[in-house]
Structure 1
Amino acid sequence: MGNYRFILSGGGTGGHIYPAIAIANELKRRYPDAEFLFVGAKDKMEMEKVPNAGYEIEGLWISGLQRKLTWKNMMFPLKLISSLIKAGKIVRRFKPDVAIGTGGFASGPLLQRATKKGVPCLLQEQNSYAGITNKLLADKAKRICVAYDNMEKFFPKEKIVKTGNPVRADLVNLICSKEEALTFFGLDPAKKTVLILGGSLGARRINQLVESKLDFFATHDVQLLWQCGKLYLTDYEKYDSNTVKVKAFLNRMDYAYTAADFIISRAGAGSVSELCLVGKPVVFIPSPNVAEDHQTKNAEALVARDAALMIKEKELDSEFEAKFSGLMKSVQDQERLGGNMKKMALPKATEQIVDEIEKLLK
């Protein structure tokens, strides 16, 4: 019986959307006749990204609670009731065999309604510090797939399966040569390359840091492959040169990772999982502006295993040059960090999550 029906929900950020799409793709590979429906938040990026990946999506009128008393918070109870009613109708109409939640606000009402109707439900938690929606849903879920150890402080131990996070298929085996990757970006094979990643939209503080350290990088004779984000391209494209390649977005991450000798990155769950597969020396600069400061906790989980370095945003001015110079000078440190990072990789995450979903199919 291949014509199963799968309902998936997760969104708000790429970190919740891409895992859901990766899971759907693997399910579709195993069950070509299956039907899929995504449920997202009406005004968020999933409403564009999911149809681009070839799946149908319906939007709920939902958003998160703000940290301070605002008009949006006053609207929250109304949005929640409206979303629960709509989610109930979607579940009744679509009749899913399994519901899959990857975090984000929309998955709350949908999975709450699905479990109430007796639909088995699987959660996928990307971060080392569980998100609020998944914590609220944990009691009703049949399985919870996680990427880090010690998640029983958030979830019932017997439901947890450590699978890792889904990553893009082209990154599981980097097959391009270094020469090919450097040529693609017009980089010099005689110089070391520093890859700078601030997420798809860019990270203001990382961009400010790079701009202020251009002379520092030049004195160390390294070249930069700088993804500044589409919001910041007009501010930084003036620095584009033979040794500094400024890009809004890197479409060929396989080439970018292969070209890199050192990486400076945010510590979102997706980035961390990809970087473990790549296994190169990384300096994490976690975003302090995310729920429950989960990026710092993600980075700390790797620092604790001697697999990466971390510098907090507020310590960049005082610590960056010393830490980065030290790393560039010590081949031993580079090899140790890269090797320990690689040990943490879980390349079969998507397949393992789908194996768990298959166990829930009646």
Structure 2
Amino acid sequence: MRIVIACGGSGGHIFPAVALAQGIKTKDKNIDIIFVGSDKALDRRIFEKEGFRYSMLSANKLPYNPSLGTFVFFIKLSLDLLKSLCILIKSRPNVVVGFGGYVAAPVILAACILCIPRVIHEQNVVPGRANAKLFTLADRIAISFEDTKRYLGRYAYKAVFTGNPIRAALLKDDRTGNMKKLGLDADKFTILVIGGSQGAHNLNKAFLQALSQLDANTRSRLQVIHITGTTDYVWASAAYEELALECRVYSFVDRIEEVYSVADLVVTRSGASAIFEIAYFGKPMVLIPYPFAMSHQVENARIFSEKGAAIQIDENDMSPDLIRNSLMDLLKDRKRLNEMAESAKRLSVPDSSYTLAEEILRLGRGRRA
């Protein structure tokens, strides 16, 4: 059997797709998997690191408003559709899987033209623009949140709840070992801040200002792991030196499971991949959704907050005072932290990769290569 997986443009689309591929290989190592991604360096780097075959399309993006860019978009889409047809005719897959984003569109369209079974996976509560337009072409729509069904309208009958696939490497929770590896104090309260994602400068700045407002005694009981992103790394490192607080500051962390495992609280944006990974580790969260992602992150944060796994702070309300007060409230309430951790764990779907893999394999078995 052969499966083509279309994903690209961001880690949020690619990492669940990689997790799915790992789940498929666990079920049957002889299944041939081919990725189709965008021509961004990120896509190429991940595919090569994971050792999968891949082809590349353009990193095209549909403008939100009609313009000359719209005309250019459709020219590129036509060219990518032709290339997708060539990829599928040559590879003759049993099933094609799309993980949203632009890249999924021409590949799913090509699969429809060639009558190849098609699965769409939606990571967020609210479907993205590309996925929403592709639902009519899908045989199955895999969803990460049960609440997504109400956004599917007449396509809800195609929905199957699978959760958001998590990479196998992340399924290792060694808190004690990673505390030692990172040189951290197991008796201190550890806050993980993930500020390296899209539009996270304001988050980085507000969090550091919030720390500066804590009294010295409170700061002495804390240690912070802060992933700042490349742009904010230098000034954030200098700011931590002035605070005289135990910290580990990184521009990027390759082994994210190591910092997840040692955290007592995670402050982050609310992209679907990240929050489901954090939920697997059962960590309470303070979620500050990126406000310009067509409300995807806002709705993701809302669900986690309503389920008791997180505190949601919207960008417009974010301030050092609010973050400081939220931290102090949680530090004083261990019972609430434990309840949030339990709620997060309940939102996790650890076997999501295998559930989605089985759905795809079931669909693919009906088509001979």
Pairing 1:87-236 to 2, within 5 Å after superposition:
87-155=84-152, 156-174=155-173, 176-178=174-176, 180-199=177-196, 203-217=200-214, 219=216, 220-221=218-219, 222-236=222-236
Q: Is the Cα–Cα contact under 8 Å of residues 202 and 228 in structure 1 kept in the other structure?
A: no
CA deviation profile, 1:7-47 (whole Å, cap 9, x unmatched): 11011110101111111222223332332221122236213
Q: Does 2:360 correspond to 1:357? A: yes
Q: For the structure 1 residues 188 and 70, does the alpha-carbon distance in structure 2 shift closer, same or farther, using more than 3 Å as the test?
A: farther
Q: Specify the code of the residue in structure 2 equivalent to 1:168.
A: R
Superposed displacement of residue 118, structure 1: 1.0
Q: For the structure 1 residues 196 and 22, does the alpha-carbon distance in structure 2 shift closer, same or farther, using more than 3 Å as the test?
A: same
* 31, 34, 59: which one aligns with 2:31: 34
Superposed displacement of residue 71, structure 1: 4.6
Q: For the structure 1 residues 29 and 341, does the alpha-carbon distance in structure 2 shift closer, same or farther, using more than 3 Å as the test?
A: closer
Q: Which structure's relative contact order is higher, taking Cα pairs within 8 Å and 6+ residues apart?
A: 2
Q: Specify the code of the residue in structure 1 equivalent to 2:168.
A: A
Query: C-alpha distance in 1, partners of 2:149/2:108?
Result: 21
Query: C-alpha distance in 2, partners of 1:20/1:319?
Result: 36
Partner of 1:311: 313
TM-score (norm 1): 0.92
**Partner SS, residue 138 of structure 1:** helix
CA deviation profile, 1:137-159 (whole Å, cap 9, x unmatched): 11221111111012223332221
Q: For the structure 1 residues 10 and 153, does the alpha-carbon distance in structure 2 shift closer, same or farther, using more than 3 Å as the test?
A: same
Q: Is the Cα–Cα contact under 8 Å of residues 60 and 73 in structure 2 kept in the other structure?
A: yes
Q: Is the Cα–Cα contact under 8 Å of residues 19 and 166 in structure 1 kept in the other structure?
A: yes
Range 326-335 or range 152-161, more displaced: 152-161
Partner of 2:297: 295
Superposed displacement of residue 218, structure 1: 5.5
Q: Percent identity?
A: 28
**Partner SS, residue 253 of structure 2:** coil
Q: Is the Cα–Cα contact under 8 Å of residues 22 and 168 in structure 2 kept in the other structure?
A: no
Pairing 1:60-75 to 2, within 5 Å after superposition:
60-68=57-65, 71-75=68-72
Query: C-alpha distance in 2, partners of 1:99/1:57?
Result: 14
Query: C-alpha distance in 1, partners of 2:309/2:196?
Result: 21
Q: Does 2:275 correspond to 1:272? A: yes
**Partner SS, residue 267 of structure 1:** coil
**Partner SS, residue 161 of structure 1:** strand
**Partner SS, residue 8 of structure 1:** strand
Q: Does 2:242 correspond to 1:245? A: no
TM-score (norm 2): 0.90
Query: C-alpha distance in 2, partners of 1:343/1:315?
Result: 28
Q: For the structure 1 residues 336 and 287, does the alpha-carbon distance in structure 2 shift closer, same or farther, using more than 3 Å as the test?
A: same
* 327, 330, 354: which one aligns with 1:327: 330
Q: For the structure 1 residues 246 and 62, does the alpha-carbon distance in structure 2 shift closer, same or farther, using more than 3 Å as the test?
A: closer
Superposed displacement of residue 244, structure 1: 2.0
Q: Is the Cα–Cα contact under 8 Å of residues 266 and 287 in structure 1 kept in the other structure?
A: yes
Query: C-alpha distance in 2, partners of 1:190/1:150?
Result: 39
CA deviation profile, 1:216-250 (whole Å, cap 9, x unmatched): 35632311111111232222222356612111122
Partner of 2:261: 258
Q: Specify the code of the residue in structure 1 equivalent to 2:10.
A: T
Q: Is the Cα–Cα contact under 8 Å of residues 9 and 59 in structure 2 kept in the other structure?
A: no
Unaligned runs of 5+ in 2: none
RMSD: 2.0
* 43, 46, 68: which one aligns with 1:49: 46
Superposed displacement of residue 322, structure 1: 1.9
Query: C-alpha distance in 2, partners of 1:44/1:131?
Result: 23
Q: Is the Cα–Cα contact under 8 Å of residues 210 and 323 in structure 2 kept in the other structure?
A: no
Superposed displacement of residue 358, structure 1: 1.3
Query: C-alpha distance in 2, partners of 1:252/1:81?
Result: 38
Q: Specify the code of the residue in structure 1 equivalent to 2:303.
A: A
Query: C-alpha distance in 1, partners of 2:285/2:99?
Result: 26
**Partner SS, residue 137 of structure 2:** coil
Q: Is the Cα–Cα contact under 8 Å of residues 280 and 341 in structure 1 kept in the other structure?
A: yes
Q: For the structure 1 residues 190 and 31, does the alpha-carbon distance in structure 2 shift closer, same or farther, using more than 3 Å as the test?
A: closer
Q: Is the Cα–Cα contact under 8 Å of residues 12 and 44 in structure 1 kept in the other structure?
A: no
Aligned length: 356
Unaligned runs of 5+ in 1: none
Query: C-alpha distance in 2, partners of 1:345/1:96?
Result: 31
Q: For the structure 1 residues 283 and 102, does the alpha-carbon distance in structure 2 shift closer, same or farther, using more than 3 Å as the test?
A: same
